[in-house]
Amino acid sequence: MSTQNRPKVSLIFLGFSFFKINLVTFGGGYAIMPIIKKVYVDDHPYLSEEEMMDILALAQSIPGAMAINTSMLVGLKLRGILGSIVSLVGAFLPPLIVISLISFFYEAFQTNLYVKAALVGMNAAVSAVMLVSAYSMLKSLLKVNIVYSLVLAISAFVLSVWTNISVGYLLLGLGSLGYIFNELKSRLEV
């Protein structure tokens, strides 16, 4: 599909579609990406499949919330800086509103026996879900480069659990090592 004969998306559509998508999608980045693709590639011919893939890849590479990054990139691609601002506002308003309400109820119900008991069970369940999710992330990393991934992952784990090094320095230090390694590796492969 060429860029010329593609319909121009309105800022209102951008803002409302991302508001709606972010309001009804639970479970964060990986859950929301297929929905964004459905709206912008399948339902409306605003983006090609390849353009969407590029956007999704970059959204995962930029730090921050993936759902928000994807929304901003689609906005930027279709309507420039203004488009990305409108998409950003559409995307973060739903969680902002919902959590503001919940935070009010949390204050009120925090001491309620049943709410506290429910949260104990929920937190335990979430710990298990996180463990499984971390394990599957580790497994997919190990498919590519076992030694490199294990060294970085274990160093990060050990340093974070047993030292007081700030997570920022940890990311910067270990990240630079990993970056240099990958840069050298991709130079050697070319």
Span 11-30, contacts to other proteins by CB under 8 A? 22-30
Instruction: Please state, in angstroms and rounded to a whole number, the distance separating the CA atoms of residues 174 and 155.
Output: 8
Query: Token pair of 64, please?
Result: 């921050």
- The distance of closest approach from Cβ of residue 164 to other proteins in the complex, given in angstroms and rounded to an integer, is 8
Q: Is the dihedral of CA 164, 167, 173, 178 positive or negative?
A: positive
Q: Least CB distance from residue 116 to other proteins, whole Å?
A: 8
* 42 binds other proteins, rule: CB under 8 A: no
Number of residues that bind other proteins (CB under 8 A): 91
Burial label, 83 (beta-carbon count in 10 A; 0-12, 13-18, 19+): buried
Applying CB under 8 A, which of residues 5, 127, 143, 188 lies at the interface with other proteins?
127
For other proteins, the closer CB: 12 or 124: 124
Q: What is the C-alpha separation between 179 and 97, in angstroms, rounded?
A: 38
164 SS3 class: coil
Check binding of 94 to other proteins (CB under 8 A): yes
- Taking CB under 8 A as the criterion, the residue among 36, 52, 72, 86 binding other proteins is 72
